[in-house]
Structure 1
């Protein structure tokens, strides 16, 4: 019996040495870890407001600047010359506008033309009256001639009386023709007077189009003058805010176009944090999430809070040459640090889930089993027992357990393929 026992003990499998961890309760944070950098929240790029020759900028990076201080100057002479030219052109147009009135016929000329029409009409009326008298006289003379002719035939009148009557009728006919010509001449005079008056009235209105032309040119020139005067004033470039100079983009004097960046400035005390993460991690980050900032050069961890997640991702090639879609997370420091500056590198841990009393197990104890579920080996009475585990959240080191493990249980860390159910084990420690 003793020999059999010794033989059984000799052939029993040797316990496998393992590292053990413990299921316990405590705080657990799930974070998205990424590198970030600081950035001045309100950075201003001051550009040249007008084209011209830039004077040398005497500021250097780091120089303090007060709000409204002169930071650059552009030679105003070309613009000043254009302003004077526009002013001279404006005076010329105003003089031409005033001269339009001198091109109109005077009111006295119009009154005289109207008077001539009235005189011509009166003369026409008189000629028409004389024509009527001539017609009446001719009719009477014609009757007298007929009567004289009849009496001479009857022997009651002498030949001379008849001849006198015929002469009188001829004279009346000639007087009628003269009166008719006088009426026609009077009608022509009236028409000529009316035409002259119409011409004067047309000349009175002819300069109206010049008024519109000069007024439009004056309005255009005034607008140009306002713009030129404004540009001339903007040749002195001032700081929109107080702060420090970050970069001087144009140091030397040279000709620059409008919109050319000159320098950057801002308040270095108003820093924000920019962290770019994978888009798959960005969907987990919500505004208000807390951030722990490490490895920034100081002795303690800084705190920050997510302000917003940028709505658009960008493509970046990783060190391995793989294209990645990444998203910027923008956060504010709590409180703002004094030691950091613009563009400083930091390491950030964004808290996306947290439980101050979570049931947690080391991630190294978990492995995938059937149907891609999580399992772990629990040490019970010197043997390994496999358990299926349901977890809710996990960080890089620990996972929150929903079901399958209890507080105080020992689990095998980094289980190998040698570990099987009911395998005898012993702790290395």
Structure 2
């Protein structure tokens, strides 16, 4: 048994010695050759698809909306009726408003017709003129009667003087007295007739004014009716507008995104019925940390990727930065940390968007991974980012393996991303750089290098 244990121990010692000899007297380390490669700086963040404008179809006024037969995903054309208010309601309202206007039109025509009144006014003027002539005739008649009375009185006096002289008989006296009485009666009759005709003339002269006043009152009635008609026409225009708006049409060629109402029901003004969008305008938004957003400019190259798209980082669907919003906002992260973020909007190539929609089935509010490239170089001396570390002064350093020994180099770096960094000075092309050096290693240590390949980004 002791012999067996001795053999096992001897084999283990031999194996340790063999490993030590193969390592050249130092620990085994992984190295990579510094080479010229493309490199990019970028910002990675979650984003989501969106539309720059969503067209909302809502109730134009309180009414009963009919059943909407469209479903989410249905395509619609510009001008196509997508929802409608129950037509019987708005048509009845319009018909009543139209009838009110027509009734007032008829009343205005009837009231405004002054043919009879103008004829009456003309007749009154003729009557007034006739009465003027009648008054003159009556006055003349009365004057004549007065003259006959005066003659009869004078004649009677003469007869009375002559009868005492025997020149006239009693019969002559009686006839003279009768003539005087008759003349006096005629004069009184003509005087009364003249006064009566004067009264009638005064009343007659009022007739044209009365007719004119009646016409003026008709004009006032027409003005009132015209005001009522203006109000009725306003109600008719409102009813016509409601009738026109009762059929709600799509403003664009697009697709139904959401449907909020289904069956026929009463709905208040402003109630959302449908949302319509143009998928060819699909874009992506990402909320970027403000310190990263300062490096992003409109026109920067970008891409989206992720398992849902079947694309890996660096091989995603290309986009371009459209806009970096000028105002930031505060957002609390999943860890409860307040962050200042800026909304960045990215757009697809207009020639590519239909293919993207068909191949990847993207919709609105879909979550995607966004990568925005802020700087790029087609060729640069590149090493893994895990190879660099900072010294106590904050300078970047890395270990270079040469002849089995380590050399600590101070580096000047350029572009940097999560995986690789550009070395401007401190390392030459072809030199071996340690990957993920341990903190126990020091400048001049003897190591056994194992080279790894550096894949392109």
- TM-superposition CA deviations, 1:300-346 (whole Å, max 9, x none): 52111122234444443211223333333222224221213213221
User: Which of 252, 274, 283 lines up with 1:263 in the alignment?
Assistant: 274
- TM-superposition CA deviations, 1:25-83 (whole Å, max 9, x none): 43221112111122356543332345433333344333444555554443222222212
User: Are 1:301 and 2:316 matched, yes or no?
Assistant: yes
Matched residue of 2:206: which SS? helix
Equivalent residue for 1:405?
Answer: 426
Shift of 1:399: 4.3
Equivalent residue for 1:211?
Answer: 222
Equivalent residue for 1:322?
Answer: 337
Counterpart-to-counterpart distance in 2, 1:386 and 1:290:
32
Equivalent residue for 2:100?
Answer: 89
User: Which of 354, 358, 361 lines up with 1:340 in the alignment?
Assistant: 361
The root-mean-square deviation of aligned C-alpha atoms, in Å, is: 5.0
Equivalent residue for 1:394?
Answer: 416
Equivalent residue for 1:171?
Answer: none
Counterpart-to-counterpart distance in 1, 2:192 and 2:392:
135
Equivalent residue for 1:277?
Answer: 288
Contact 1:23–1:405 (8 Å) recurs in 2: no
Equivalent residue for 1:424?
Answer: 444
Counterpart-to-counterpart distance in 1, 2:294 and 2:285:
16
User: Which of 332, 357, 366 lines up with 2:379 in the alignment?
Assistant: 357
Counterpart-to-counterpart distance in 2, 1:380 and 1:217:
101
Matched residue of 2:295: which SS? coil
User: Are 1:291 and 2:302 matched, yes or no?
Assistant: yes
Counterpart-to-counterpart distance in 1, 2:80 and 2:53:
18
Of 65-74 and 351-360, more deviation after overlay is shown by 65-74
Equivalent residue for 2:390?
Answer: 367
TM-score after normalising by structure 2: 0.67
Counterpart-to-counterpart distance in 2, 1:197 and 1:96:
25
Shift of 1:183: 8.7
Equivalent residue for 1:248?
Answer: 259
Counterpart-to-counterpart distance in 2, 1:125 and 1:198:
23
- TM-superposition CA deviations, 1:165-201 (whole Å, max 9, x none): xxxxxxxxxx999999999877766554443322322
Contact 1:17–1:428 (8 Å) recurs in 2: yes
Matched residue of 1:112: which SS? helix
Counterpart-to-counterpart distance in 1, 2:327 and 2:223:
54
Unaligned stretches of 5+ residues in structure 1: 1-13, 138-143, 145-174
Equivalent residue for 2:123?
Answer: 112
Counterpart-to-counterpart distance in 1, 2:292 and 2:238:
51
Equivalent residue for 2:408?
Answer: 384
User: Are 1:53 and 2:51 matched, yes or no?
Assistant: no
Equivalent residue for 1:220?
Answer: 231
Of 190-199 and 204-213, more deviation after overlay is shown by 190-199
- Alpha-carbon spacing, 1:109–1:31, altered in 2? closer, same or farther (3 Å): same
Counterpart-to-counterpart distance in 1, 2:282 and 2:147:
117
1:71-220 matches, within 5 Å, as: 71-101=82-112, 106-122=117-133, 191-220=202-231
Contact 2:409–2:426 (8 Å) recurs in 1: no
- Alpha-carbon spacing, 1:383–1:111, altered in 2? closer, same or farther (3 Å): closer
User: Are 1:33 and 2:33 matched, yes or no?
Assistant: no
Unaligned stretches of 5+ residues in structure 2: 1-24, 149-153, 155-185, 450-457
